Amino acid sequence: MAEGENEVRWDGLCSRDSTTRETALENIRQTILRKTEYLRSLKETPLRPSDRLSNIESSDGLNKLLAHLLMLSKRCPFKDVREKSEFILKILRVKQPVDMPPRRLVLSKQIVYEDAQMHALFADSFAALGRLDNITLVMVFHPQYLESFLKTQHYLLQMDGPLPLHYRHYIGIMAAARHQCSYLVNLHVNDFLHVGGDPKWLNGLENAPQKLQNLGELNKVLAHRPWLITKEHIEGLLKAEEHSWSLAELVHAVVLLTHYHSLASFTFGCGISPEIHCDGGHTFRPPSVSNYCICDITNGNHSVDEMHVNSAENVSVSDSFFEVEALMEKMRQLQECRDEEEASQEEMASRFEIEKRESMFVFSSDDEEVTPARDISRHFEDTSYGYKDFSRHGMHVPTFRVQDYCWEDHGYSLVNRLYPDVGQLIDEKFHIAYNLTYNTMAMHKDVDTSMLRRAIWNYIHCMFGIRYDDYDYGEINQLLDRSFKVYIKTVVCTPEKVTKRMYDSFWRQFKHSEKVHVNLLLIEARMQAELLYALRAITRYMT
């Protein structure tokens, strides 16, 4: 069988024209039929479908095809494609993947495409990428943010920019690998190869061009201890003779790195499962018992989920109900008392220090060592380099004062100057993330959550040693309880250690959408923190 004929072209499906999609699907159908015929003829003996499917592993190509088709049947925003691919699967008597492990509830749940805006977003995303990834599906809880997010990501990866396309994906891989985020790595390995990247590079950073290898150090520091970035780092990258980066390229790279670091946080923070068509994302076998549970984000099912959690942890519903009430009460108090009780300057200063110091004791008690999967660890070197607390760090690093270098005034201008339009996009994204609110808290409506959001945002910046002069860090202690802090800290600093238990144990009364909202805040705050350090170093280099 000629290889050329077996090539399946998926790009036709991304078209907005229904006839084009139909043609493309028909092509796919024929190819698959041909392939199965071929396989069947190879084996000669007719096999029972289940057998055949179990043996089909041998034919890697077909398996991939089917996986992709499965993804389409579930995910494609276009109804015709969904139906048709399901139909093809039925012909092949592939067992419907309803019986996938429950941990992947996100995937098995049919997405409802009623919301017009949501649908438009999905269609956009699908048309651009040819897939609808799980991140998008989770973020769609907040369509306003998602739109901005997708726009930015699309611009960073596909539009005009100083870096070649395969570099961009490779940098994405580098960044995600820093947090051992196999999900993102796999996603971008595919993309990387798709845009014509050299497969050799994937064997490890040492096989990539020297230029990218040079970026490794920045990647490492940026991911774990951004406050250590100095202008020497920048200088080292910009002045490396033939391997040197240009300023514009560097800014592009920095934006990509920070984007993927924070996206890795999101992936772990929300427990995004592997893509349906990637390894481990699907199964055609009956569900087996799987203990590898991260968490599920399903709006429809969350009540069931919650019950389960509650019963498991023996926390009464009323208990968690009081949590919300207590939080609300604290917010109210804070708002009222702020002007009455005036903390002295010294106290304010020390509060920041206290919060900073405390943040370092906040850590998950379980010290299970996560060993990275083989294929991911090869993308980064120096695995021992990880997050170290800002305050515990040996040498004295001065506090970063936002009033001296902030995103709105300084970072934006620099990014926009060197990588036009991106500053604007990121700025919008920050704004949306920071200001996003539905004025609800769990079961309460009409709540002003700005104080809470600000506390979360500033707490994350506090962990990175960034201080707001005009913020009373005592508020953080009032508003964020310990389990929540543990979660924040883990997601932001060592996302690979997030467990489902952590996810469940904070804010038990809150909806999943609200927890995703928190995650959005976390990742944007983290991205901004990293960007601020990196951009400040670049500014210092330039002056």
Partner 1 sequence: AGKEPTTSGEGRERQANPAALGLVPRADPVDSGSHFAPLLGLTDPGFSDCPDLKMSRVTTALGGSVLTGRTMHCHLDAPANAISVCRDAAQVVVAGRSIFKIYAIEEEQFVEKLNLRVGRKPSLNLSCADVVWHQMDENLLATAATNGVVVTWNLGRPSRNKQDQLFTEHKRTVNKVCFHPTEAHVLLSGSQDGFMKCFDLRRKDSVSTFSGEATEAGQDGKPWEWVMTGWVPVLPVLSCCVLRLHPSFAHGRMQDAECGANGACEDTLCGCSLGPLCVTPFHSQSESVRDVQFSIRDYFTFASTFENGNVQLWDIRRPDRCERMFTAHNGPVFCCDWHPEDRGWLATGGRDKMVKVWDMTTHRAKEMHCVQTIASVARVKWRPECRHHLATCSMMVDHNIYVWDVRRPFVPAAMFEEHRDVTTGIAWRHPHDPSFLLSGSKDSSLCQHLFRDASQPVERANPEGLCYGLFGDLAFAAKESLVAAESGRKPYTGDRRHPIFFKRKLDPAEPFAGLASSALSVFETEPGGGAMRWFVDTAERYALAGRPLAELCDHNAKVARELGRNQVAQTWTMLRTIYCSPGLLPTANLSHSVGKGGSCGLQLMNSFNLKDMAPGLGSETRLDRSKGDARSDTVLLDSSATLITNEDNEETEGSDVPADYLLGDVEGEDDELYLLDPEHTHPEEPECVLPQEAFPLRHEIVDTPPGPEHLQDKADSPHVSGSEADVASLAPVDSSFSLLSVSHALYDSRLPPDFFSVLVRDMLHFYAEQGDVQMAVSVLIVLGERVRKDIDEQTQEHWYTSYIDLLQRFRLWNVSNEVVKLSTSRAVSCLNQASTTLHVNCSHCKRPMSSRGWVCDRCHRCASMCAVCHHVVKGLFVWCQGCSHGGHLQHIMKWLEGSSHCPAGCGHLCEYS
**Does 243 participate in binding partner 1 (rule CB under 8 A)?**
no
- Hey, which residues between 58 and 117 contact partner 1 (CB under 8 A)? none
Q: Shortest Cβ distance from residue 246 to partner 1 (Å)?
A: 16
Q: According to the binding rule CB under 8 A, does residue 18 interact with partner 1? A: no
Minimum Å gap between C-beta 506 and partner 1 is 23
For residue 446 the two structure tokens come to 């009409």
Q: Which stretch binds partner 1 (CB under 8 A): 150-158, 260-268, 363-371, 432-440?
A: 432-440
Q: Are 140 and 118 in contact (CB under 8 A)?
A: yes
Q: Per-residue contact track with partner 1, 19 to 38, x per CB under 8 A?
A: xx--x--xx--x--------
Tokens of 44: 């000669």
338 in contact with partner 1 (CB under 8 A): yes
Q: What is the smallest separation between the CB atom of 410 and partner 1, expressed in angstroms?
A: 5
E strand or H helix at 503? helix 500-505
| Of 19 and 318, CB closest to partner 1 | 19
Least separation in angstroms between residue 342's CB and partner 1 is: 6
Applying CB under 8 A, among 203, 246, 335, 383 the residue interacting with partner 1 is: 335
Which helix (H) or strand (E) covers residue 538, if one does?
helix 512-542
Instruction: Kindly write down the DSSP assignment for every residue of 264-319, as one continuous string.
Output: HHHHHHTTPPPPTTSTTS--SSPP-----------TTTHHHHHHHHHHHHT--HHH
3-state secondary structure of 59: coil
Using CB under 8 A as the binding rule, whether residue 469 contacts partner 1 is answered as: yes
The reply to whether 3 sits near partner 1 by the rule CB under 8 A is no
The interface with partner 1 within residues 373-412 (CB under 8 A) comprises 401, 403-404, 408-410, 412
Q: What is the DSSP letter of 379?
A: T
The angle at the Cα of 135, spanning 483 to 117, to the nearest 5 degrees, equals 115
Hey, which residues does 400 pair with through a beta bridge?
466
Among 447, 466, 479, 480, binds partner 1 (CB under 8 A): 447
The one-letter amino acid at 131: R
- Among 144, 129, 179, 245, CA closest to 538: 245
Which CB, 58 or 335, lies closer to partner 1?
335
Backbone angles phi, psi at 466, to 5 degrees: -100, 125
- Taking the CA atoms of residue 67, residue 69, residue 74 and residue 76 in that order, the dihedral angle to the nearest 10 degrees is 130
347 binds partner 1 (CB under 8 A): no
Write down the least CB distance from residue 407 to partner 1, Å: 11
* Catalytic residue, candidates 181, 270, 295, 493: 181
439 lines the binding site for partner 1 (CB under 8 A): yes
Active site residue 181: yes
Q: How far apart are CA 188 and CA 236, in angstroms?
A: 27
In the block, residue with structure tokens 């203990």:
291
- Identify the bridge partners of residue 444 per DSSP, sorted by sequence position: 441
Least Å from the CB of residue 19 to partner 1: 8
Min dist CB 206 to partner 1, Å, is 32
Q: Does the footprint of partner 1 cover residue 160 (CB under 8 A)?
A: no
DSSP 3-state helix, strand, coil percentages of the chain (rounded to 5)? 65, 0, 35
Residue 437 as a binder of partner 1 (CB under 8 A): the answer is yes
Which residues contribute to the site for partner 1 (CB under 8 A)? 4-5, 9, 12, 19-20, 23, 26-27, 30, 332, 335-336, 338-339, 342, 345-346, 348-349, 401, 403-404, 408-410, 412-414, 417, 424, 427, 435, 437, 439, 446-450, 468-470, 539, 542-543
Which positions are catalytic?
181
